[in-house]
Structure 1
Amino acid sequence: MATARFHGPHYVPPGDTRTTTRHTVYVNTPTGRIKFCPYTMVDSELLAICRSAKALMENMTNPFAVASWLHLVLARCHPFDDGNGRVTRLVASIPLLLAGYPPICISLDQRSAYWQAINETYTGNHGPFIQCIFDGMKRAIDRVEGLKD
């Protein structure tokens, strides 16, 4: 079955976090090694992220800032063995959708700028990431508008 995921001899249902698979994730970058949330803390971290996101969205004045924060904390948590980027962009789109904006859309030619912007958010500078979200939205809207002709 193409949708089945196995961790060793055991089946892991989609949606189970790294708490189930017990994977600790590291990424090597040019500036050093990044360790993501330890698998023992993923579920509690997700709960804290959800609570904080709910509170932020209830009093939201800047949906782009909330989307950037959500993207940052979910990406840093890295809760799943696969699909973290897709899930992160989808969840980070929620405050934008609630404010009447389109979801986050990053085209292939934006990937380099997207990764650079993500790295900037780790230092506390969310401006490039918010600009990346905005540029992706504009490109997507322009492509949709082009379909009318």
Structure 2
Amino acid sequence: MIESDSRILDVGCGPASIAVGLARWAHSGHVTGIEVTDEILATAAATVAEAGAANVTLANESVYELPYDDGSFDVVYAHQVCQHLSDPVAAISEMARAVRPDGRVAVRDSDYSTMIFQVSAACAAAARYEMAIIRGTLPARGRMASRRRRACR
């Protein structure tokens, strides 16, 4: 799927750790990471600079209106993005438009409604205690974080 000269779009690139990894695979290609806030893009830019990933560019763009021609990318990738979108179907359609006809749109998201979390009673009690302090219904005692760390091991 990913060749050394692949053109890849990383939708919702976050801190760009995945974009940097993709750029290593596509070392003769190019990765474009997009996000919707300058604050996140600043973090991404620091990650890209630290990695020395010269084949990564970052842009403030919306997945709903990608400013790229049809078929511009070999791969369009979105990791944990769709869960944050109001219209994920429209976003995936736009991703499909931007990928070449024989390219790939790869989407990885979690379905939190099917996940099961098991937490010890002590950990749950410590979390409730912490939330009560945050809400102001209990006074802070100064040991909240250490209490929760011990209980949630």
Structure-1-length-normalised TM-score: 0.22
Q: Which structure shows the higher strand fraction?
A: 2
Q: Which structure shows the higher helix fraction?
A: 1
- Which one has the largest radius of gyration? 2
Q: Which has the higher contact order (CA 8 A, sep 6+)?
A: 2
Structure-2-length-normalised TM-score: 0.22
